[in-house]
Amino acid sequence: MHRPLFIVIEGLDGSGKSTQIDLLRDYFQSHGTACHVTAEPTDLPTGKLIRSVLRKEISVDPRTLAAMFAADRIEHLFHPEVGILAKLAAGYHVVASRYYFSSLAYQSEFVDPGFVASLNSLAKVTLPADLTIFLDLEPEVSMQRIRNRPGEDELFETLEKLQHVRESFLNAFTVYGGDENIHHINAAGEINQVAEAIQDLVNKV
Ligand code: TYD
């Protein structure tokens, strides 16, 4: 763990990404290592626009939404202050909730996967993650966790869609991530067990 690492946590809604990302940040900090936590959609203007689509305040063609996620990802990568590349250059490990595999998984329900892949080719060429961890969870469990969570339902949260998204994730890792360092962890386990499994993988990069 000498050079700054770019670590991506992927998973269905409700798979525990936020909890595990917080624990990973604590782990880095307890070892005296600087860590920047980030997420897509971002809090940048591009990400805010996406949130208003997810909240159904505005409506766009699914291809436009796919392009919006890709545009937000470009901002996320290249933003001069808060961008992933800037943070890595400043010596931080970067831990991101979601990256281009989320686009392949979610947008391919509505949009040709080849189109989604082409929109994301700049990100893949520029910065594939050093480690991508898929927090894998049965869609039924994911649905249950989402139901128990306060807040509005977003666009993707039905059981049928979650099943499709999980299959799309698995397919995207095979088709689009064959040359990358991707690991699956069963996210139904105890929080601390999952956290330790993540730490083991990070220590092997
Ligand atoms: P997120 O805030 O990670 O949701 P959650 O915390 O519920 O997991 O992401 C919001 C939604 O955006 C989520 O349903 C997945 C979707 N999404 C895409 O459809 N494509 C993408 O490229 C990304 C990054 C997210």
Q: Is 54 in the pocket of ligand 1 (CB under 6 A)?
A: yes
What pTM was estimated for this model as a whole? Answer: 0.94
Please name the helix (run of DSSP H) or strand (run of DSSP E) that holds residue 54, with its range, or none: helix 45-54
pLDDT at 158: 84
Q: Is 106 in the pocket of ligand 1 (CB under 6 A)?
A: yes
Determine how many CB atoms are found less than 10 A away from the CB of residue 65: 21
Average pLDDT across each block of 10 residues of the chain; the chain has 205 residues. List them in order.
Answer: 90 92 97 96 98 96 98 98 98 98 94 97 98 94 83 69 92 96 96 98 97
Name the β-bridge partners of 185: 135
pLDDT at 78: 98
Write out the two tokens for 125: 């060429």
Amino acid present at 185 = I
Going from N- to C-terminal start, the domains of the chain cover: 6-203
pLDDT at 85: 98
pLDDT at 159: 87
Strand locations in 27-142 (E): 35-39, 93-97, 131-136
**Looking up tokens 């993650």, which residue turns up?**
129
Using the mean position of ligand 1's atoms as its centre, give its distance from the Cα of residue 106 in Å: 8
Using the mean position of ligand 1's atoms as its centre, give its distance from the Cα of residue 9 in Å: 12
Q: CA nearest 32: which of 71, 62, 63, 1?
A: 1
Distance CA 121, CA 102 (A): 14
Name the β-bridge partners of 95: 7, 37
Indicate the SS3 state at residue 39. strand
Using the mean position of ligand 1's atoms as its centre, give its distance from the Cα of residue 99 in Å: 9
Q: Is 42 in the pocket of ligand 1 (CB under 6 A)?
A: no
pLDDT at 145: 83
- CATH fold of the domain at 6-203: Rossmann fold (3.40.50)
Contact of 85 with 134, CB cutoff 8 Å: no
Q: Is 99 in the pocket of ligand 1 (CB under 6 A)?
A: no
Using the mean position of ligand 1's atoms as its centre, give its distance from the Cα of residue 41 in Å: 7
